[in-house]
Every structure is written in structure tokens, then in C-alpha cells.
Amino acid sequence: MSVYEKLQALNITLPAVAVPAAAYVMYAQSGNTVYLSGHLAKKDGKIWVGQLGKDTTTEEAKLAARGIAIELIATLQAACGGDLKRVKRIVKLMSLVNSTGDFTEQHLVTNGASELIGEVFGKQGKHARSAFGVAQLPLGACVEIEMIAEIE
């Protein structure tokens, strides 16, 4: 099953690529490696604000991370000239979770993105990963995730 068939089977329509919120680009390519800038969690088209361990649950933030993965796939498609079949491998995800000092489930939050990437890209979606707890994120977002991919 192709990446596009998997997206369709999951009832996922890729959104338009987000516009940078500051002085950066949404992706940069060096050789066959594409670096995707951090994408912030959104809910109903607005930044999904919250802090884990205070006012946002692990399950809510896991859904936020899944939503970010969909946006990352859309940005990756743009980086591939519109063709996700050019993706050779998802190399790494780095996840930043807006957390209180005693929250320790950043890895479970990040599974929301990792699991979807695995479903969509199959064995090419198996990736290295880091998940960090941070004191705050831009605009109060609950989660931010960036991605590195190898393309043909």
C-alpha cells in the first residue's frame, strides 16, 4: 500500500503547509536530508495551548502530537516537490512538551506522532527520537515537534 493509500485509509487529508511565525523557513534541504522546522500543536485552527502536569492530559497531548505529525507530513510533501513517494526514510523526530517540573510522560505524548508516522510510512517510518519536557513553548503551545527525513 502506498503512502497516499495509507493516508486515505486513515481518512487523513493533508493540510496546506503552515506559514513561518518568525524568521525561518518551514524546511531546509542539504543533500538528500530534509530538516523540517518545529510545528506547533493546533486545535480547531488555533494554537493548542496547555501545560502537561497542569491543565493538559497525556492523552490530549498525544492527540496534539498526532495532529502535528499530519502537518509535518504535509510539509515533507512540499519539500519533496509534492511527491511523498520520494521519502526514503524518516530519520528522527524531536519533540518538545510544555511540562511542569514533575511531569514525566513526554515519551507517551510523542508516541502520538511516532505511531502515525509508522502507520503512514511503514518500515521507512521507523525513526530515532528525542522527547523533552520544557518550561514553555512559543505562544503557549502544549507540544512542538520537528522532523528530519531522507529523500531521493
> What is the spatial distance between Cα 25 and Cα 38, in angstroms, rounded to a whole number?
10
Asked whether the predicted pLDDT for residue 21 surpasses 90, the reply is no
Q: Scanning the structure block, which residue is given the C-alpha cell 487529508?
A: 13
C-alpha dihedral (146, 72, 137, 52), degrees to nearest 10 = -100
Cell of 119: 502507520
37-48 pLDDT, tens digit each: 999 999 999 999
57-94 pLDDT, tens digit each: 999 999 999 999 999 999 999 999 999 999 999 999 99
Hey, what amino acid is at 121? F
23-37 pLDDT, tens digit each: 999 999 999 999 999
pLDDT of residue 37: 98
89-110 pLDDT, tens digit each: 999 999 999 999 999 999 999 9
pLDDT of residue 93: 98
Model confidence at 144, in pLDDT bands (50, 70, 90)? very high
pLDDT of residue 120: 98
Cell of 7: 493516508
> What is the spatial distance between Cα 93 and Cα 131, in angstroms, rounded to a whole number?
8
Under a CB-based contact definition with an 8 Å cutoff, are residues 147 and 36 in contact?
Answer: yes
**Interior angle at CA 71, CA 66 and CA 76, nearest 5:** 120
Look up the pTM and report it: 0.97
> What is the spatial distance between Cα 152 and Cα 142, in angstroms, rounded to a whole number?
33
